[in-house]
Amino acid sequence: MKILFLNGPNLNLLGTREPEVYGRMTLADIEAQVRQQAEQLEVTVDFRQSNVEGELIGWIQQAKGNFDAIVLNAAAYTHTSIALRDAISAVAVPTIEIHLTNIHAREEFRHNSVIAPVCRGQICGFGAKSYILGLEAAIDVNDVK
Ligand code: DQA
């Protein structure tokens, strides 16, 4: 099983970016935890980050036929990008939406996710653990199908 992790804008700054909100782990730290868990669960992961909406869309499009699931932290594009939503909908690769923070407990503009309706589910609020839970969900959605 192959799982694609995609990270949106500003997540490359984790570790120094508002640590009181996002914690002190870097994206590389999170990736290392995901890879360790993926090895134990015997699945292959690819882990990418981009600040560019079009690049994320390209990766989603290329996931069709190449990955069994996508785990997506779309960051701020979660709340704005109809283009990302349409890409997820178009490829029909099961996609799990994840966030470090509980977006529903933050500013009102973060409460709405335009990608949620086309994702299999949403995991938010568990810090770096959201990524591990996302990995487990990505395996589960493939097992039950
Ligand atoms: C985030 C939440 C978003 O609202 C925000 O724009 C991010 C990170 C999270 O992981 O908590 O950049 O996706």
pLDDT value for 143: 80
Atom of ligand 1 at shortest range from CA of 98: 10
25 CA → ligand 1 middle, Å: 14
Cβ neighbours of 142 (radius 10 Å): 14
> Cβ(35) to ligand 1 under 6 A?
no
130 CA → ligand 1 middle, Å: 12
Query: Rounded to 10 degrees, what is the CA torsion of 19, 21, 27, 32?
Result: 100
The answer to whether residues 133 and 3 touch, using CB atoms and an 8 Å cutoff, is: no
107 CA → ligand 1 middle, Å: 11
**For each of the chain's 145 residues, which pLDDT tens digit applies?**
999 999 999 999 999 999 999 999 999 999 999 999 999 999 999 999 999 999 999 999 999 999 999 999 999 999 999 999 999 999 999 999 999 999 999 999 999 999 999 999 999 999 999 999 999 999 999 885 4
Atom of ligand 1 at shortest range from CA of 76: 6
pLDDT value for 144: 58
CATH top-level class for 2-143?
alpha beta
The answer to whether residues 93 and 72 touch, using CB atoms and an 8 Å cutoff, is: no
Q: Which residue has the tokens 């699945």?
A: 43
Q: Which tokens belong to 35?
A: 């890879």
